[in-house]
Chain A
Amino acid sequence: MKLYCLSGHPTLPCNVLKFKSTTIMLDCGLDTTSVLNFLPLPLVHSPRLSKLPGWVSKDGTVNLEKKELLDLSTIDVILISNYHCMMALPYITEHTGFTGTVYATEPTLQIGRLLMEELVNFMERVPKAQSATCWKNKEIQRMLPGPLKDAVEVWTWKRCYSMQEVNSALSKVQLVGYSQKVELFGAVQVSPLSSGYSLGSSNWIIQSHHEKVAYVSGSSLLTTHPQPMDQSSLKNSDVLILTGLTQMPTANPDGMLGDFCSNLAMTIRAGGNVLVPCYSSGVIYDLLECLYQFIESASLGTTPFYFISPVANSSLEFSQIFAEWLCHNKQSKVYLPEPPFPHAELIQTNKLKHYPSIHGDFSSEFRQPCVVFTGHPSLRFGDVVHFMELWGKSSLNTIIFTEPDFSYLDALAPYQPLAMKCVYCPIDTRLNFHQVSKLLKEVQPLHVVCPEQYTQPPPSQSHRSDLMLELQPPPMPYRRCSVLSLPFRRRYERIHLLPELANSLVPSEIKPGISVATVSAVLHSKDNKHTLQSVPKPPPVPPTKKRKRVIEEPPEVLAPKPLLSGAVPLEAFLATLHKHGITEVKVEETADGHILHLQAEDTLIQLEEDGTHIVCDNNEPLRTTLRDLVLRFLQKL
């Protein structure tokens, strides 16, 4: 069993597991941090940005993880754990010869589709006059200025996919429910488990009858909106692949949420606007819920909240229909029937408004001061670029970063100098090191595999030995392009004895509580399933009158003979011989046993502790008799 690690990014993993002749890709996250190397894509022409020296971004780039390690067309299935970890799907399934199936839960598929749609929309609505790729050539890149020169592996940077590719990729998704058992080629069973991180997010169990691999990716133990994490099903795994821990191990999500609210209120009261660059699904639901409770007490009742995204409406609507995937509290609301998320009420009372973009209705209905939620969190594309230009110059306004995926300083770089206040409240609900070590103690995997980043403290806080995984036995670290051999020794496989065969077995007790039976059967293997059935009796030869000559007896099907065990006791054996008319026996003692000389038959039988040797003339009937007599005393296996 092997694990190919195609991504070195611990929260956007992409691993391929080869397990019992199946090739399973675990997630395909898209690392978009490379966009920070580009200038923002403004919605409205910005003289300031266009005058900035340096490289002007040409292609909406995204970084596809290394794929030279193996042929993508050999992948049988892709298991998706949450919608953030499927953004590279079109790169994997399109134009690569991929013919497999993608498994994901329904919320993951629907919200994943929204996020991809949004990304494509952001890219396509600001078409580029020209695009360049030659600069990716190593020789040219070497001569480029600034950070571009140092960017690694730019040749893996790809153009953003199109909507057509997204649709085609998503058409390969097959929906699964939590704890659903999906058979892959009869060899392996996979099953998603609730991971508690986002709507429909899952960890996966990949198992056969005797081996179990748990894949843990982006899990949360905090009570936010999704269904709580299913921990008990992770128990007894041979290998646990651990990815997607919190990117902000030192930031407490609850504290950050508090900071978020207080900064927001402060800015609004001072007459400023608040900009929240965020993804269109996920933490935003929690932020809205928090604000729903907060605005009354903070008397922000009249402040408009805007959510601007091409998929804002869909995201808000979709969140309300996945009752099965929500935490218990939200589920019981649906039984009343009430929408599970309070943002329905915010929309109804006109406190929250959503728009597909800043163009159209928004420009006429827009009132300040206000709070705007919009993407993309990298500040390089999407409507957020416009608000940065609009509000950046005033110190009354505040930008609050809540998404942990991008360094906020890098994100802000092209907008400097900036008068606007910046607040960094990264909310990452994924497992922290404390929680994960508790979890691992609970579920007791034999081996843990994790990104190498987790085996040492973060570089910025090298003294914090609590910010790493410490396990016995130590975890097996992987980095990008590693190929790990997982410590597995498969020793058994499931096989089915057909009832007829099972009934024909004759068990005998060898030791107290242990019985054995000799099985002689025909093996049938089909679709990786094995069955044993009784040896078929040779069909009776139809009596043919034409064939006069004696039909040669078909050679009897030669059944393998069992191994023998035990010893032949001398006295009892002599008595048996006597019973069968063999009376003249001379017994001679030797170092290891006895030699019996059957004088009338001129035959020697050598009886020893671990062997019997019958030496006789060419007298087949006698030999057969003696053989059967000896066998009476031995156990057959």
Chain B
Amino acid sequence: MPEIKVTPLGAGQDVGRSCILVSIGGKNIMLDCGMHMGYNDDRRFPDFSYITQNGRLTEFLDCVIISHFHLDHCGALPYMSEMVGYDGPIYMTHPTKAICPILLEDFRKITVDKKGETNFFTSQMIKDCMKKVIPLNLHQTVQVDDELEIKAYYAGHVLGAAMVHIKVGSESVVYTGDYNMTPDRHLGAAWIDKCRPDILISESTYATTIRDSKRCRERDFLKKVHETIERGGKVLIPVFALGRAQELCILLETFWERMNLKAPIYFSTGLTEKANHYYKLFITWTNQKIRKTFVQRNMFEFKHIKAFDRSYADNPGPMVVFATPGMLHAGQSLQIFKKWAGNEKNMVIMPGYCVQGTIGHKILNGQRKLEMEGRATLDVKLQVEYMSFSAHADAKGIMQLIRMAEPRNMLLVHGEAAKMEFLKGKIEQEFNINCYMPANGETETVTTNPSVPVDISLNLLKREMALGGPLPDTKKPRTMHGTLIMKENSLRLVSPEQALKELGLNEHQLRFTCRVQLQDPHSDSDTLHRIYTHLKSVLKGYTIQHLPDSTVMVESIVIKLSSSAEDPNTKVLLLSWSYQVIDLSYSQLLLNIRKKLTCSR
């Protein structure tokens, strides 16, 4: 039995360093190659030694597919390809290919230049790695080799995020990466067709949450910002340069316009200008509304949002500042936070998930005294708000995707074990399919039962379809009969006659003749005629012929009559038929004749 094996090297009952190995139809595929934000040691990257203890990965992997540009999905890519060693194809969408190297370079700078780590990938390695990338278009069927094909679907989560359908023969797997089933301010909703994969590998970040409508969260967010501005406070929104930042910018921009607000909005420098440019050039990846109006008004050209300068932080009066990075663990957002933390009029809004150990995580847990470098402490007086703007599918969204794709099995990754357990129960109950949730390094094996594609001769098929009538009769199934010829790699189903001819074989005729003696006073031809008329009246629906050479044919059964020389009343009835006759059994026929005529052995 063919089987599909799935082994998460990362993201198995965990969030971070997504890396899932899939073996399907003899092909090995790596899905995502991410890093873990919460660790600084070896656990940061997936354990590639699982694939091979020594040497390069090229010969063990047929391809690598990256779902989107978040570092927990692509952060280990240069390490994997350049330091461990992989020269095969890496697939990702155009926006991911564009943005991924920038984030990797950023990540490298923080790790190597700021934290002083050695033994890390270099800028050159990022470049070399990106050279191995083959861009994917949505819905394009890419033939990795003769057997393996992949197809990308829109996932919504961030610009360029994709789900992939991986197919070998008639077996297939869908990997979602991170996805979002509700459209937001700048991106559309994930979509997939009814591809009925053997396994659907889905993220499950929000496995247990059913979020309220996005509108409410947006209104809340705007209300809080507005109130703070009204009372002259400053609002800090720590974000990552790409993704949520653009959504919140669009939100604030339209709000400012509508309310005619004058307070300045700043976006911390660096990536931002560039980031907005990516959004402008990849506008086809955003949602319908933005795409439709971009000629008149490009949503990513902000009127009210200006570049930030570090001196502005001390300006008096209200302002809103978007600053990187998103978890307040370093950089400009942390500097501004330190400056503003002491004033209760100010506010910090955390729009996304914060990893343990970061300042963002601490203040969200209500910590009000923070220890800074050099034993200084920081009193946090400003208001701390958390708003979930992460674009992940919630429980409802995950169920919705299952309904869309109709998988035969489900496999959860990228979530917390306890939450997965809950969702697994729900899925198994509602869809009656198996749901798996392997931990890192654990292999889940799913047996598939693919049907066998065969070429049928058109003559045979047409004949069958004509006989079967337009609608199949479920009560009386018609059996068709054919011969499957297996030659080299081809499987062909043809009619037995054609098979004989093709294989150059002679047909062997097997015939039976049965002699029966009857007593009948009539002449031979009369008896035969009586048999004929009788059969004709009894066997409705059969072709019965009286041939001139004094034979009667019932379908293809031949009936002949002769009388013995001694006794003209004793007739010998000869019934002759070939092995293949099925329409009418000869005993049935005989029974009928006997009823009419007296007969004896």
Contact = CB atoms under 8 A, between A and B. Distances in A.
A613 interface: yes
Contact of A517 (B94, B138, B483, B510): B483
B300 to A, nearest CB: 11
Q: Which of A334, A515, A618 gathers most chain B CB within 10 Å?
A: A618
Q: Which of A507, A532, A613, A637 gathers most chain B CB within 10 Å?
A: A637
A268 B583 CA distance: 93
Contact of A313 (B138, B295, B456, B487): B295
Contacts of A523: 461, 464-465, 468, 478, 480
Contacts of B281: 320-321, 323, 334, 337, 339-340
A609 B449 CA distance: 44
Given A317-B294, A615-B515, A495 B486 contact: no
Given A321-B283, A516-B483, A616 B455 contact: no
Interface string B118-149: 00000000000000000101111110000000
Contacts of B280: 321
A614 B497 CA distance: 23
Given A176-B139, A334-B98, A566 B508 contact: yes
Contacts of B541: none
Contacts of A586: none
A614 to B, nearest CB: 5
Interface string A77-108: 00000000000000000000000000000100
Nearest to A495: B456
A535 B505 contact: no
Contacts of A560: 479, 481, 580, 582
Interface stretch (A44-52, A249-257, A422-430, A486-494): A486-494
Contacts of A499: 449-452
A337 B503 CA distance: 64
A637 B513 contact: no
Contacts of A517: 483-484, 486
A338 B2 CA distance: 48
A617 B515 contact: yes
Q: Which of A176, A525, A531, A559 gathers most chain B CB within 10 Å?
A: A525
A447 B247 CA distance: 54
B452 A496 contact: yes
Contact of A567 (B97, B472, B508, B513): B508
Interface in B437-474: 449-458, 461, 464-465, 468, 472
Interface string B361-377: 00000000000000000
A495 B507 contact: no
Given A495-B455, A497-B454, A191 B141 contact: yes
Interface string A316-346: 0110111110000001001101011000000
Nearest to A210: B455
Contact of B510 (A321, A334, A611): A611
B484 A507 contact: yes
Give chain B's interface residue range (CB within 8 Å of chain A). 35 or more
Contacts of B487: 513-515
A557 interface: yes
Interface string B41-60: 00000000000000000000
A637 B500 contact: yes
A226 to B, nearest CB: 14
B465 A525 contact: yes
A557 B98 contact: no
Contacts of A334: 94, 98, 281-282
Contact of A615 (B456, B486, B499, B513): B513
A618 B514 contact: yes
A36 interface: no
A616 B514 contact: yes
Interface stretch (B214-222, B330-338, B405-413, B488-496): B488-496
Contacts of B472: 524-525
Q: Which of B98, B496, B580 gathers most chain A CB within 10 Å?
A: B496
A536 interface: yes
Interface string A615-631: 11110100100010011
A367 interface: no
A568 B479 CA distance: 29
Q: Is the interface of B mostly helix, strand, loop or mixed?
A: mixed
Contact of B478 (A210, A522, A630): A522
Contacts of A497: 451-454
A392 to B, nearest CB: 33
A465 interface: no
B440 to A, nearest CB: 33
Nearest to B477: A522
A491 B510 CA distance: 31
A177 B137 contact: yes
B277 A564 contact: no
Interface in B183-230: none
Q: Which of B98, B135, B481 gathers most chain A CB within 10 Å?
A: B481
A406 B596 CA distance: 90
A331 B505 contact: no
A618 B455 contact: no
A359 interface: no
Contact of A337 (B98, B465, B492): B98
A493 B461 contact: yes
Contacts of B479: 520-522, 535, 557, 559-560
Given A499-B450, A520-B480, A565 B139 contact: no
Nearest to A502: B452
A492 B464 CA distance: 14
Contacts of B455: 209-210, 492-495
B306 interface: no
Contact of A510 (B451, B497, B505): B505
A492 B492 contact: yes
Contacts of B461: 493, 495, 523, 530
B89 interface: no
Nearest to A507: B486
A618 B590 contact: yes
A546 interface: no
Interface in B289-342: 294-295
A70 interface: no
Q: Which of B170, B500, B601 gathers most chain A CB within 10 Å?
A: B500
B260 interface: no
A514 B503 contact: yes
B601 to A, nearest CB: 7
A616 B511 contact: no
Nearest to B461: A493
Interface string B553-576: 000000000000000000000000
Given A493-B461, A532-B493, 12 more contacts: A180-B151, A321-B281, A324-B135, A335-B97, A495-B493, A496-B170, A510-B503, A523-B480, A558-B582, A561-B580, A565-B508, A566-B508
16 contacts: A177-B139, A178-B137, A179-B142, A322-B284, A495-B454, A505-B484, A515-B486, A520-B479, A524-B472, A525-B465, A560-B580, A560-B582, A565-B506, A567-B508, A610-B508, A612-B510
Which 9 interchain pairs have the tightest Cβ spacing? Answer: A611-B509, A563-B496, A560-B481, A496-B451, A492-B455, A495-B456, A615-B513, A335-B98, A565-B505
